[in-house]
Every structure is written in structure tokens, then in C-alpha cells.
Structure 1
Amino acid sequence: MTAVLAACSGLAWAAVSLTSSTHTDAKRPEACTYTPTGNGAKSVGVPSFDAMAARRPFMLVISTSEGPITIQALNSQAPCTTNSFAYLAGKKYFDGSKCHRLTTAGIFVLECGDPAGLGTSDPGYSYPNENRQGATYPAGTVAVSKAQPGRNGAQFFITYADPVLKMAPEWTPFGKVIDGLEVVEKFAAKGTANGKPDGAPKEPVVINSLKVQYPRH
């Protein structure tokens, strides 16, 4: 059993780009620091940050072949992160990209956000961790995964079931799926292309579009 848990634990770490971080958690900022990396999959520039605008609630809506996934942004807990994702959505950074990794044992995640489809690129900038103290990753959590150690960028994972293994609070939770988790479950049920518990999804998961949606008043 110990060997099995160790193997699953290693799988879990590989599956969501679990890497050691060189950033400490950011304080709730009046300004965010976005640091150029020179590793962008697309050239989209670097976002600006308006503390007042960043507090405005919004949702992210991902359109896929199996239907939409609606995510409530946790902008009060992770303003630098949610501001970055809103910026990238406005630049159509994710549109047409494929989710590159699925994990079906130990932890249950779909990982997306690299237009190159390899899990190695960021949007050309990075920013500090947020919202990690006491963080857990139950089903429906949306959190930042890292292309390289210490680099929060555009890659993210969605947990489609509660993890069996304990996940350390290493990744910034910035959203919660409020509708469409069954869409992720449908892709996950088809397994991986290599037939193993960790790999590219067997059925390509294409993000047709990722858009910001503000609540109607």
C-alpha cells in the first residue's frame, strides 16, 4: 500500500506541474507585479492593474465541444491572478488551445492554458502566488499550475473530483466551477491517449473560447 501511495503521490506531482515555488504569497495589493519572462506562447503584452476594477465580480466562461464551463472568479482572494486571466481572456489568448494533461488517479484534474499544447509555456510574464494559506482543492476548484518553478502564468487546472491524495497548498486557487463540471467529467471519463492515469486527454479538449462575463444588474 505504501508503494502504491508513493507512486500515486509522484503521479499527482507530475500531473499538475507541481513544482517548488520561488514566490511567496502576494498581499492584497494596490498594484500587482507582472514580471516579463520571455517564454510567451503568444505575444499579448503585460497586463496593467487597477485595484478598484479588479474587485468587480466576474465569471469566466469556457466554451468546449461538450458544452460550456462557468467559473466564478475569486477576485477578492486572488486579485492579481484573476486580473491576469481576465486580461488574457480579453486578448483571446486561450481561444483554440487544447488542454494538455488529464490525471485520473490520486488526484483528478484537467490541465489547460498553454496555446502550444505542451504544458511548457507561459504568457510572457509571471506573478506571485496568492490565496494559498490553508488552500484545498475539492471538486470544482480552479487553480494556477506552473510552466516552470515559481512561474505563475496562464496554465490552470480544474479538479473534477475530490482528490484521494492530500494536495499541499502550493497552487493559487482563483476560481470555482459553478456550472458545467459535468463537461470536465465527460472528457475525463474517456481517459488518456496513452491509456495511463496521466497523459493527454484521449479526446482532445479544445477551448473554443474563454470569455469574461460580468453579472447583470
Structure 2
Amino acid sequence: MKITHRLTIAVVSALALAGLATPAQAAPAAPTVQCEFTPTPENPAARPVRPPSPTASAKGTAHAVLQTNYGLVAIELDKSNAPCAVHNFRHLVRSWFYQHTQCFRLTASQRLGVLQCGDIYEVEKGGPGYRFPDEVTGKETYPRGTVAMGNQGPGTNGSQFFLVHSHANIDPKYSVLGRVVWGMDTLDRIVAAGIADGADDGAPAHPVRIHFAVTT
């Protein structure tokens, strides 16, 4: 096991000790929802992965840590807000789908300031081979630190997600996974490194890579 992987696991453990993640304990069965994961043979899986089980927990929180070449980002995932999206995200993390991937899009405009990750090949190319519906109320907002699903239209969620490093003045069409609870300085360093060709929307000037991702 690589040292970097051990470090990421150590951070998850530290979050648990700090109370940001709660170890599993015996408790009454949590409410669940049924999710619909539809295969997309026209866009096959970019890496070997099966759709998650259709049953997702709809209560409580979970945590994930992304270890990037710029530093660590810890995320608190809200099962009650987007149970199917959180269930899918944790499934992909546990399936090593995000291991050694690249975040291909960075934006820094007056409208949108996000880092977009989760695609295997390039922006919006290379998903898990299935899609699932949005989980939105129409009242969503996306302040700094928000983590949400990216998509290419209604009901096209897969592996793509984005982290809001400043603001996202966008329509409430994206399922909110949760929020960054540690590591906003990592995102700030990525933003400070700039966007290719001085643009306000494009590839990061220096590649942003996710080495490992783990989840509780």
C-alpha cells in the first residue's frame, strides 16, 4: 500500500476522532429509498464498475476524502438531501472509480467558480455506464464549499461532480451531495494556479489529479 493511500485513510480516522465522522453503531434501521440506475450502453463504463444496489439510506451523513496533488479535501455527504446521489458517490469511491483521475475543468467567472471532476477521459466524457435521476427541489443554492453532481441535462447523473470554490450562480438543477468540511485551502491553491490560456473556464493551468478517494 502506498504511503499516500495510508495518509488518506489516516485523515478519515482523524475526522472520525474529531467528531466529523461517526463510526457505525447498532441503531434502529434508517429509512431508505429506491434508486433507479439505468444502463447507458451508448456510453459504456469508462472503468469496470457495476451500478450500485437500488436501495439507499435516506438518513444521516457520511464522509469522503479526496487526496489530490494539491492536498486533501474532506467532504460531509448528506444522505437525507440526495440519498441516491450520495449512495452512488460512495459506491464509485469504494469501486476505485476515482482513483488516479483528473479534474478537467476549472471555472472562475462572475457566474461560476467550480472545480469539475469525475470524468475519466476529458470534460463530460468517461462515466460509469449508467445514469440516474436528479434529486432537486428547485430551491437549491450553491455557496462556497458546496459539492454537487454535475450532469449534461435532466436525469443524466453518473460520476461527474463539482466543488464550489467561490460561488455558483446557477439554476437549481444539480443534486447537492454535501459540503467541504476541511480542505478549502486546497481548492484555493488550485484556483491560484490559474486556468489554461488565462481563460475563466477551461482546463486548470496545471493538472489537478485525484490520487485516491476513500469514504466512511
Q: Aligned partners of 2:61, 2:172: CA distance in 1, in Å? A: 24
Which residue in 1 is equivalent to 2:161? Answer: 156
Whether 1:190 aligns to 2:171 is no
Q: Aligned partners of 1:51, 1:191: CA distance in 2, in Å? A: 38
Shift of 1:57: 2.5
- Runs of at least 4 residues off by over 4 Å: none
- SS of residue in 2 equivalent to 1:86: helix
- SS of residue in 2 equivalent to 1:208: strand
Contact 1:126 1:152 in 2 (8 A): yes
Q: Aligned partners of 1:32, 1:149: CA distance in 2, in Å? A: 16
TM-score (norm 2): 0.79
Shift of 1:65: 1.5
Corresponding residue to 1:108 among 108, 113, 119? 113
Structure 2: unaligned runs, 5 residues or longer: 1-30
Question: C-alpha offsets along residues 18-50 of structure 1, whole Å, 9 cap, x if unaligned?
Answer: xxxxxxxxxx96311100012222120111033
Whether 1:42 aligns to 2:47 is yes
Q: Aligned partners of 1:132, 1:200: CA distance in 2, in Å? A: 31
Q: Aligned partners of 1:190, 1:132: CA distance in 2, in Å? A: 35
Q: Aligned partners of 2:122, 2:96: CA distance in 1, in Å? A: 15
TM-score (norm 1): 0.79
- SS of residue in 2 equivalent to 1:188: helix
Contact 1:73 1:174 in 2 (8 A): yes
Q: Which has the higher contact order (CA 8 A, sep 6+)?
A: 1
Q: Aligned partners of 2:203, 2:36: CA distance in 1, in Å? A: 32
Q: Aligned partners of 1:185, 1:127: CA distance in 2, in Å? A: 31
Q: Aligned partners of 1:98, 1:119: CA distance in 2, in Å? A: 12
Counting only pairs closer than 5 Å after superposition, residues 39-78 of structure 1 correspond to structure 2 as 39=43, 40-52=45-57, 55=59, 57-78=61-82
Which residue in 2 is equivalent to 1:138? Answer: 143
Q: Aligned partners of 1:203, 1:132: CA distance in 2, in Å? A: 36
Which residue in 1 is equivalent to 2:27? Answer: none
- SS of residue in 2 equivalent to 1:41: coil
Whether 1:87 aligns to 2:91 is yes
Q: Aligned partners of 1:149, 1:143: CA distance in 2, in Å? A: 14
